[in-house]
Amino acid sequence: MLTILASAKPSPIHGVGLFADQFIPKGTITWRFDPTFDIFFTEDEVEKLPEPQKRLIKFFAYFSAGRKVYIYSIDDSRFLNHSTHPNNDCPLLHGETELCNISNRDIQIGEELTVDYRSFDDIDKESRSAYLQNS
């Protein structure tokens, strides 16, 4: 669940991105897993979904190593784009069950929020997709 104010807008990186609607100081938690707001699906559940829903989950959810499930956020955090030089890191903080997003520098109002998909998505960690290497 997003913990900061942000909006989904057209992105110069890819399609739609997530943009800061407030100044975000370095070290701010910008997203954290909230089981009342973020939902998860097992691999079997995803495979049994109709094709449109399966594509939605595989595109917008991430695959959690710890839980071995797809986690789908129902807020606009699903529009975070990948960068090899992101402005958010994804550590596992004490007391959390999933990785969080934390700003690794000050982020200005209107700036696109980014993460390195390889730092939290088990599927992307092993991927050789070009977009993960050069953005």
What does each of the 135 residues of the chain score in pLDDT, given as a tens digit?
999 999 999 999 989 999 999 999 999 999 999 999 899 999 999 999 999 999 999 989 988 877 889 999 999 999 999 998 999 999 888 888 888 999 999 999 999 999 998 887 655 555 455 555 555
Query: Domain 6-129 in CATH: superfamily?
Result: SET domain (2.170.270.10)
Domain spans of the chain, in order of start: 6-129
DSSP for 7-51, written as a single string: EEEE-SSSSEEEEESS-B-TT-EEE---TTTEEEEEHHHHHHS-H
Sign for the CA dihedral angle at 80, 84, 85, 88 comes to: positive
> In degrees, to the nearest 5, what angle opens at C-alpha 81 toward C-alphas 86 and 21?
85
> According to the model, what pLDDT value does residue 135 have?
54
Sign for the CA dihedral angle at 37, 30, 91, 117 comes to: positive
pTM, whole model, 2 decimals?
A: 0.85
